[in-house]
Structure 1
Amino acid sequence: MDDGRYQEENYQGSKTKLPRPNSQIRPHACQSLFTTHELETLKAVSIDGVRRHLTSREDQLSGEFEKISPTQHPSSDGDLVHNLSPDRLPQQQLAVLSFDAKFNTRDTRPEDLIASFELALQKCDVGEE
């Protein structure tokens, strides 16, 4: 009969019964060791610890995100796009953009297309999504 334990030989050669790794603690085993009040207190403390950990982790990630997110202010010279690749878009991408955007993209350069798209987004007051 398997009662959730297995035998392991320690360094002195004697066998000891240890709980199986990654096995759950059975509720009735805890109930025999603790009173109902102690179990409720343990549960409340555990939940509180998890909440504090999640809150601190969320705050930490928010701080890191704020450090890496770009500013939303347009530059003083009016340019919306900087440091783009000089490579032209492939014909397939131009065809997709032309179909979806409903305007001619045959002779557009990537920086012109992106700048006009960003300008349209600013006029629509669209969020990050």
Structure 2
Amino acid sequence: MKFTNAFTTTFALFAAALSTIVTAAPLEPRDVYTPHVTYPHKGTVWMVGQRHNVTWDTSDAPVNITNPVGMIKLGYETFILPITLASGFNVLDGRIEVTVPNVDAGQYFLVFFGDSGDDSDPFLITTS
């Protein structure tokens, strides 16, 4: 019986302390942000080895972004390739320069990661 009372008292004190911590430090609400990639767009042609600015629209960015650190990966057909073109940048920058990787010629797309992924329009990469 003494164990049960000691456990109940300990649990009640723990719950009260946890309640105080939670109410003392409210979490700031965050929004998922999926910026629209504006370049490359349909009709764009990149050549292997060239440098290009990937751009995205930041005009609708929420005040509190869940993850403000961006990453851009290359995609082919319906697959996201293990090729990272840029990472560690602020999603509010609106642009980042990338180098076109040494890949086969074909139709590709970019995936912009931050809070969520947003695909660019399909575009071509050529080798010459």
* Structure 2 length-normalised TM: 0.32
| Greater Rg by CA | 1
Bigger RCO (CA 8 Å, 6+ sep)? 2
**Structure with the higher helix share, 1 or 2:** 1
**Larger strand proportion of the pair:** 2
